[in-house]
Amino acid sequence: MGYLGQIFVMAITAIFIQNYVLSRFLGLCPYLGVSKKIDSAFGMGMAVIFVMTLTSSITYLINRYLLTGMMYLQTIAFILTIAALVQFVEMVIQKKAPALYKSLGVYLPLITTNCAVLGVAILNTTALRPDGITPYNFLDSTLNGFFSGVGFTVVLLAMAGIRMRLELVNLPKSMKGMPIALILAGIMALAFYGFMGFKI
Amino acid sequence: MKFFSELTKGIIKENPIFVIVLGMCPTLAVSTSVDNALGMGLAATFVLICSNMMISLIKGIVPAQIRIPIYIVVIAAFVSIINMAMEAYLPDLHKALGIFIPLIVVNCIILGRAEAFASKNNVLNSMADGLGMGLGFTLSLSVVATIREILGNGTWLKMQVLPSTYDPMLVAILAPGAFITLGLLMAVMNIIKEKN
């Protein structure tokens, strides 16, 4: 398989087969919390793609060149990187693109505690390319961060679309809100299990 | 008797999972079996007690603007300790919980308690709050895990509880089962709350 083919497999795996939310259980808080409206779901999704891509590339460099022989510092180093990065991105966007800041603004600080972001950074350190032997290089890590962000956004948008319709449905009082959202997520996860059979 | 009320409120009245709805990721991911749930719950309880104690001790000297990064570093330090201790003494459990141990750092319950409680209360009450919240978390995790393990595997804490002719409902220990079990449990909690 050529390199482009492997990247394609990585993309399909991250978005559908091993979706971060529905099969790895990462990033559930924003998935359940920010999926009430399509607009806010889209804003959150974009912010997550942005931060995940940047985090993946920077944590790759930190892990490869700074942490050699000090693996026990990994968790602390990664979470500090993410916190600093989110703060930095927030300031840059606020200065350079006020319109984007207005739409992303509230979601950016929330991303620090989105476990999908720390999750992708940690998983990248041990992940292998689809051929099963080569560890990720810098480009692979960055791309994997991007694809994982896209996977998150896809299910977040789907969930928001369904939940907007649910507003109009006459539900039993005890099922309103979180319970029905969770059951919905379960049905979506069941549907995503269909992708598991894919062998690429 | 403030100590005891701080201790017990986390278990039922302010249960972190069913009432405040925080810390969903580990709840759903590690509740495939009861021993995983207990391991995760106790690890999180340890981190909660230690980080609440530490943050309560340093609350006077932390500048308000940078308190969140400082809290996160304190939490990350304790998570690294428990991560290494588990790797050394409980390698099987460490392997089963995998990435969710380092991810205790971003568990909203811990940062949430640091911000909402430990940064405003004295050391003893903060530790009681950490213990109570941790036990509440462990308890609800075990409830979810009990249902999933019995339905999906016919066992409880690896002991066979259903007759061996029982055909396991595999979906219960897969990802969809986690969401549906928790959703139904929350609906039941809502019904109980309405009745009261």
Q: What is the pLDDT of residues B125-145, one digit of tens each?
A: 999 999 999 999 999 999 999
Q: Are A28 and B100 in contact (CB under 8 A)?
A: no
Chain B residues touching residue A84 (CB < 8 angstroms): 69
Do A76 and B80 make contact, defined as CB atoms within 8 angstroms? yes
The nearest alpha carbon in chain B to A26 belongs to B25
Picking from B29, B69, B103, the nearest residue to A83 by CB comes out as B69
The least confident of A56-60, A84-88, A106-110, B192-196 is A106-110
ipTM above 0.90, yes or no: no
Q: Which helix (H) or strand (E) holds B156?
A: strand B155-156
In chain B, where the domains are located: 2-146
Taking only the tens place, the pLDDT of each residue in A147-159 is 999 999 999 999 9
pLDDT score recorded for residue A188:
93
- Considering only residues 99 to 138 of chain A, which have any Cβ-Cβ distance to chain B shorter than 8 Å? 112-115, 118-119, 122-123
Most B-contacting residue of A79, A159, A171, A188 (CB-CB within 10 A), to test interface: A79
Picking from B80, B179, B188, the nearest residue to A183 by CB comes out as B179
Is the pLDDT at B7 greater than 90? The verdict is no
Do A75 and B182 make contact, defined as CB atoms within 8 angstroms? no
Tokens of A157: 């948008």
Q: What percent of chain A has pLDDT over 90?
A: 37
The least confident of A128-132, B52-56, B124-128, B188-192 is A128-132
The least confident of A32-46, A58-72, A180-194 is A32-46
Picking from B68, B175, B180, the nearest residue to A22 by CB comes out as B175
pLDDT score recorded for residue B194:
85
Do A76 and B21 make contact, defined as CB atoms within 8 angstroms? no
CA distance B165 to chain A (A): 26
Q: What is the mean pLDDT of residues A11-27?
A: 89
pLDDT class of B180 with cuts at 50, 70, 90: very high
Report the mean per-residue pLDDT for chain B: 89
Q: What is the mean pLDDT of residues B107-131?
A: 90
Picking from A118, A172, A193, the nearest residue to B176 by CB comes out as A193
Q: What is the mean pLDDT of residues A23-50?
A: 86
Query: A162 at the B interface (CB within 8 A)?
Result: no
Do B76 and A75 make contact, defined as CB atoms within 8 angstroms? yes
Taking only the tens place, the pLDDT of each residue in B42-60 is 999 999 999 999 999 998 8
pLDDT class of B86 with cuts at 50, 70, 90: very high
Could you write out the three-class secondary structure of A120-187?
A: HHHHHHHCECCCCCCECCHHHHHHHHHHHHHHHHHHHHHHHHHHHHHCCCCCCHHHCCHHHHHHHHHH
Report the mean per-residue pLDDT for chain A: 88
**Distance between CA atoms of residues A179 and A126, nearest Å:** 35
Chain A residues touching residue B84 (CB < 8 angstroms): 72
What is this structure's pTM? 0.89
Chain B residues touching residue A114 (CB < 8 angstroms): 106
Do A189 and B73 make contact, defined as CB atoms within 8 angstroms? no
Taking only the tens place, the pLDDT of each residue in A158-187 is 999 999 998 888 989 888 888 999 999 999
pLDDT class of A200 with cuts at 50, 70, 90: low
The nearest alpha carbon in chain B to A123 belongs to B99
Residue A31 to residues A27, A28, A98, B32, Cα–Cα distance (Å):
6, 5, 26, 21
Query: A79 at the B interface (CB within 8 A)?
Result: yes
pLDDT score recorded for residue B23:
78
pLDDT score recorded for residue A142:
95
Written as one letter, the residue type at A30 is P
Query: A28 at the B interface (CB within 8 A)?
Result: yes
pLDDT score recorded for residue A199:
64
Chain B residues touching residue A76 (CB < 8 angstroms): 73, 76-77, 80
Q: Are B163 and B39 in contact (CB under 8 A)?
A: no
Query: A189 at the B interface (CB within 8 A)?
Result: yes
**Distance between CA atoms of residues A62 and A196, nearest Å:** 33
